[in-house]
Amino acid sequence: MADDLLSQLKSMTTVVADTGDLETIRRFQPTDATTNPSLILQAAQHESRRARLAEIARHATDIDDALDAVAVEIGGEVSALIPGYVSTEVSARLSFDTDATLARARSLIERYGRHGVGPERILIKVASTWEGIRAARILEREGIHTNLTLLFSFAQARACADAGVTLVSPFVGRILDWHKAQEPDVDFSGDRDPGVQSVKRIYEHFKGHGYDTIVMGASFRNAGEIIALAGCDRLTISPKLLEELAGTTGNLERRLVPLDAETHAPEPQDEAEFRWEMNEDAMATEKLAEGIRKFMADQRKLEALLGELRKG
């Protein structure tokens, strides 16, 4: 009898849990885990955390201090359950501020250190704006690993690789969402999925030019997208889709295979080239802006929750 798809996937791809839920992580035993403002909000709303959140809020110097304390508290708990990286996000509010991103990233690493979690276990998540990528370049030179998120275009991927970031998170499902809205009658299943095609292009470019940056597909809408990217360096998967893969048997074929680098990396982009290519890519421009807004919407909800707890 064939093994379940999740077990087979783990033999060719590093599986990452896209959640801050500890029970999910215990059950599926991923190597890494990713969080973002939306997932931190979900985790923070568990009744079992209420008293601890109130304590953090009351002792914080301000809301930003409370936000980072909560993120590191949850990230520290997650790190105790997995052998690999925990991704923790810099506030989306800082997506266009290189200096503020640097300061916040360094502060998060210091906080993790006080929790006994070393920098080698942490990926600082930063939005793939020009300013975020510039910050990531500096952080990597300081020994702070980064995960460039909200990545929708080849231009963003190229800039991230040029910056030497540890990992990129190209979003699959949100790319599909945009194309389905534009062309609702088109079949985007399997290899026709534009999000899947985007990750494959990035993966092949990185491997073909000898970049060390890890490619981690993210934001999946269905198990078919994951199956189409089997063999990718990493895939970060929601609890619902982890459940589906674990409950499905069959033969999983490796779809992405790393090839030896054949050519030297192209010349790095400059800022003008990056911004022009983003301007030419309506999908990437719209989804990047939308993603930052959505993360901020959930961050504001968490800020409101912590604000109420501070008063109480």
Neighbours of 124 (CB within 10 A): 28
Beta bridge pairs of residue 125: 89, 147
Calpha distance 291→46 (Å, rounded): 24
Active-site residue 125, yes or no? yes
Contact present, 296 and 290 (Cβ < 8 Å): no
Neighbour tally for 274: CB within 10 Å: 20
Contact residues for 48 (Cβ-Cβ < 8 A; gap 6+): none
What is the 3-class SS of 132-180, one letter each residue?
HHHHHHHHHHCCCCEEEEEECCHHHHHHHHHHCCCEEEEECHHHHHHHH
**Which member of 125, 200, 207, 287 is catalytic?**
125
Active-site annotation, residues: 125
